[in-house]
Amino acid sequence: MSQEGLLRPGIAQLRVLDMEESVRHYVEYIGLELVGTGDDGRVYLRGYDEFHRHSVVLREADEAGIDFFAFKADNQKSVDRFRKNLEAYGLEVRDIPAGEQPGVGARISFTVPTGHDIQIFAEMELSDSPNAPETKNPYIWNVEPKGMRAQRMDHCLLYGPDINEVEKIFTECLDFQTPERVETPDGTLGIWMTVSNKAHDIAFVNHPEPGKLHHLAFFLENWSDVGHAADIMTRYDISRDVGPTRHGITRGQTIYFFDPSGNRNEVFAGGYTYYKDQPPRVWDHNNVGRGIFYYERQLNEAFLSVVT
């Protein structure tokens, strides 16, 4: 897919209950790099294969969950185009000034019907870390990754109402495609959406309560690394939800687990390559178990219902 307009997921800001425990989880166990702590106490993190300054932000709060999910655009002209599209659709677009997060330019923010704050930005400083990916005669990694060896923040799954309207906004205003979906006799249960060649960059599941986080996912290199992540979880008594297993939807290899605040994480490898001329893949309610958990072929009720 032509990489113009929106490029990829850029920033996820999570609410956590205990910052010290959370930093240990995301840095020592998942393997993100600690970039720094802001004057307001927010902590900034990046995966070892990410060129830009940060991709995950932790904010200490009284309730776990997600503050916002942001996408990186190729330039400010694209951001301005998306603003016009969103305003013409009838959404209120808010401005976040440059510098609200260190190294990040101006952002626009809007709330979709699921109750989530979605943001778009074009400018972020490149990482100045000695661990950042090299660009001249590069090694595969500069400093040996630790923990689960997370390469990057990859995608999120959000829960809320009226996902059909959300799909219209993302496709008509932001140039997303919907490679995969789950349909039931009562309507659409879930949509997996992409603005790249990945099987998904964001997903939504229909849920009565707005603004909920199902999981934030981190990309690993291969299936062997997923197994290594399971070893890390067992060694350090990390609360595991499901896996190691595989999805029918997206074909990704996966484990779900929880951070100390109860936010669900995923480590994810594989997944098919998507092109926008491909027909959508549609799952019906009789086969959704195999779609979500390909080997087990049945759903875990807690997996569907536990959100933050």
| Beta strands at 152-160 and 202-206: parallel, antiparallel or unpaired | parallel
The residue-averaged pLDDT of 28-56 equals 97
pLDDT at residue 97 tops 50: yes
Quick check: helix, strand or coil at residue 209? coil
The pLDDT tens digits for 51-62 are 999 999 999 999
The residue-averaged pLDDT of 169-193 equals 95
Cα→Cα distances 200→9, 195, 270, 271, Å: 10, 8, 12, 9
Please, what's the largest Cα pairwise distance for the chain? Answer: 55
Q: Residue 2: which pLDDT band, with cuts at 50, 70 and 90?
A: low
* Residue 305 DSSP code: H
The set of residues, in sequence order, having a beta carbon less than 8 Å from that of 305 and lying 6+ positions away, is: none
Q: Residue 133: which pLDDT band, with cuts at 50, 70 and 90?
A: very high
pLDDT at residue 3 tops 90: no
**Residue type, position 246, single letter:** R
**Residue 53 exposure: Cα atoms within 13 Å on the Cβ side:** 15
Cα→Cα distances 278→74, 180, 274, 281, Å: 24, 11, 7, 9
Domain assignments of the chain as residue spans, ordered by start: 6-121, 153-305
Per CATH, which fold does 6-121 belong to?
Answer: 2,3-Dihydroxybiphenyl 1,2-Dioxygenase; domain 1 (3.10.180)
222 Rama sector, left if φ>0, alpha if ψ -120 to 50, beta otherwise: beta
Measured distance CA(178)–CA(257) in Å, rounded: 26
Question: Catalytic residues, which ones?
Answer: 155, 200, 215, 247, 256, 266
Same fold, 6-121 and 153-305: yes
Percentage above 70 pLDDT, the chain: 99
* Residue 144 DSSP code: -
189 pairs with which residues across the strands?
none
pLDDT at residue 1 tops 60: no
* Average predicted confidence (pLDDT) for the chain: 95
pLDDT of 111 reads: 98
How far does Cα 166 stand from its chain's mean position? 16
CATH number for the domain running over 153-305 = 3.10.180.10
pLDDT at residue 288 tops 90: no
Length of the chain: 308
Measured distance CA(66)–CA(165) in Å, rounded: 21
Count of CB atoms within 10 A of residue 126's CB? 13
Measured distance CA(216)–CA(237) in Å, rounded: 20
Picking from 21, 35, 10, the residue whose alpha carbon sits closest to that of residue 263 is 21
pLDDT at residue 12 tops 80: yes
pLDDT of 226 reads: 96
Q: Residue 267: which pLDDT band, with cuts at 50, 70 and 90?
A: very high
Please indicate whether residue 302 or residue 135 has the higher confidence score (pLDDT). Answer: 135
Q: Residue 228: which pLDDT band, with cuts at 50, 70 and 90?
A: very high
Picking from 272, 270, 266, 271, the residue whose alpha carbon sits closest to that of residue 230 is 266
